Structure 1
């Protein structure tokens, strides 16, 4: 983050300061008892937004200076960027006021913390920009998926229409088949009835035929008897004629003999 944005001018921790003792110029980076500075800074921070979380965050900064990400995340998550920059500016002013009391090395440490916070804010901005680009990419992919989904929906709608048309056709075909089956069953029943009547007629005709055959056999027997009777009668009729003709022949022969005898005697 640029210093022009926040109005903070970092101070070199190794810079000589005539207002602080020599032992403070060579002080280490480790924290000492910073309760007066922290109380003064917190008095300013308490007047700002979300002061409770900010106070808690700075107490963690005071107790554990090594957890930079935890510090920055807690501060950045409790207020907006503008609010954090405002808090940093106020704390910097507070530290500048405390600088006159010979505690510049604490200011340098705090400035390093602030610089880390600014770096973390820059990193968060980069992450947000990266997330924004990824979000745009995801949105592009989502739009592509939505277009594909729309085409798939159209294809599914066409398929649904085809299935509906096919279902209607199948329903009509099924109704026609049912009608044909009903008519076929009706025709079958009629045919069965006709076949039954034909069978009855055939049975009756068979009975009549058998009866006629039996009567015919009886008539043939009677005719054979009549033929035998006729033959017998004819034979009986032929006998008298034969006897008569024989008698006549004998008489004629006898007369001829007598005639011959008579003429012989006459001569």
Structure 2
């Protein structure tokens, strides 16, 4: 008798362990500040700002989220320094258990430009499927599905332009996920790009991973390769390092200063141009991120 199957990850989360290991906590593009607070009435506020290291331009947004867990409703309203108004409404487990509806809209009052994306998600043991309808672009209908059984994962995605009546994008993925390791293979961009990722929890304090990408349409031949590792120094701090086949070495350090306060620092070094500069500045990058949560 087979064991009950868990709900597999969504299409966008296939290979997430490796992507997070190699993509997160490397704050190298400037300075970030994030402040998150919540109230007893289930309202959460978030202020997020970034200052780019090259242009020194500051971009920020403020967001308020109201959650009604008893009725499965979440309402989010945001406003950015680019004068974009964003609204998101989520409703879960209303028509059926595991079914979720999500409507995300944005409006630029200066130009009247607007977007609206309706998302339907359905999750059951062994199945995770989503459908998206972009109401103003195309309109375009996109669907993806992931099937999972005994650790094996099979996923596919396709986009259909309703006006042109043709499939505009398709992709597929195959993977295996276990508690200590995960392997994922992707065929993206109408099978013009292929990616393979690997994640391994070596021990409770050490993680390692790698990712390889082959783009058949790239001007330069060969495979792009990136490897990295993460090590916990203690319960409140960890370090990360990664390097790619172009010789760029990235380092990250994250420290929880106290409950609700976290600081991250990043450094990227082009090991092939240690003493050179690019036309826009130094070949190396540094950055920092601070998160306050209460």
Larger radius of gyration: 1
Q: Between Structure 1 and Structure 2, which shows a larger proportion of strand residues? A: 2
Q: Between Structure 1 and Structure 2, which shows a larger proportion of helix residues? A: 1
When the two structures are superposed, what TM-score results if normalisation uses the length of structure 2? Answer: 0.15
When the two structures are superposed, what TM-score results if normalisation uses the length of structure 1? Answer: 0.16
